[in-house]
Copies of this chain bind each other. A is one copy, B any other.
Amino acid sequence: MKEKTNKKISTESYKGVRDFYPQDMFVQNYIFGIMRKVAESFGYNEYGASILEPADLYRAKTGDEIVNEQTYSFKDRGDREVTLRPEMTPTAARMVAAKKREFSFPLRWYSIPNLFRYEQPQKGRLREHWQLNADIFGVESIEAEIEIISIARAIMKAFGLKDGDYEIRVNDRKIMNYILEDFLSLSPAESHSVSKIIDKKDKMSKEDFADKIRSIVGEKSDELTNLLHSKNLEEFISLLPEKARTHQGVLEIKELQNKLAELGIKNTVFSPTLMRGFDYYTGIVFEIFDTNPENRRAIFGGGRYDDLLSIFGAEKIPAVGFGMGDVTTRDVLETYGLMPKYKPATELYICVLEEKYRNYARQLAQDLREDGLNVAVDSSGKKVGDQIKYADKNLIPFIVCVGENEVKNEELKIKNLKSGEETALKASKVYDFLKNKKS
Stretch with Cβ within 8 A of B (4 or more), from A140-148, A207-215, A236-244: A140-148
* Residue numbers in B under 8 Å from A141 (CB-CB): 379, 381
Is A204 an interface residue when CB atoms closer than 8 A count as contact? no
Q: Is the CB of A60 within 8 A of B4?
A: yes
Q: Is the CB of B2 within 8 A of A313?
A: no
A314 to B369, CA, bound (A): 35
Q: Is the CB of B20 within 8 A of A47?
A: yes
A144: nearest residue on chain B (CB-CB)? B379
Is A421 an interface residue when CB atoms closer than 8 A count as contact? no
Q: Is the CB of A13 within 8 A of B56?
A: no
Given A118-B76, A376-B108, A389-B104; A50-B313 close (CB under 8 Å)? no
* Residue numbers in B under 8 Å from A47 (CB-CB): 19-22, 25
* Residue numbers in B under 8 Å from A29 (CB-CB): 46
A262: nearest residue on chain B (CB-CB)? B359
Stretch with Cβ within 8 A of B (4 or more), from A298-306, A342-350, A402-410, A430-438: A342-350
Q: Is the CB of A374 within 8 A of B22?
A: no
Q: Is the CB of A99 within 8 A of B21?
A: yes
Is A116 an interface residue when CB atoms closer than 8 A count as contact? yes
Stretch with Cβ within 8 A of B (4 or more), from A186-194, A282-290, A411-419: A186-194
- Of the listed residues A5, A13, A263, A349, the one surrounded by the most CB atoms of chain B closer than 10 A to its CB is A13
Q: Is the CB of A346 within 8 A of B49?
A: no
* Residue numbers in B under 8 Å from A45 (CB-CB): 22, 25, 344-346
Q: Is the CB of A118 within 8 A of B77?
A: yes
Is A160 an interface residue when CB atoms closer than 8 A count as contact? no
Interchain CB contact (< 8 A) of A46 among B1, B22, B43, B379: B22
* Residue numbers in B under 8 Å from A80 (CB-CB): 14-15
Q: Is the CB of A53 within 8 A of B13?
A: yes
Q: Is the CB of B11 within 8 A of A60?
A: no
Is A52 an interface residue when CB atoms closer than 8 A count as contact? yes
Closest CB in chain B relative to A148 CB, distance in Å = 10
Which A residues between 24 and 60 are near B, CB-CB below 8 angstroms?
24-26, 28-29, 40-54, 56-57, 59-60
Q: Is the CB of A40 within 8 A of B345?
A: yes
Q: Is the CB of A106 within 8 A of B380?
A: yes
Q: Is the CB of A25 within 8 A of B1?
A: no
* Residue numbers in B under 8 Å from A345 (CB-CB): 40, 43-46
Is A363 an interface residue when CB atoms closer than 8 A count as contact? yes
Q: Is the CB of B358 within 8 A of A143?
A: yes
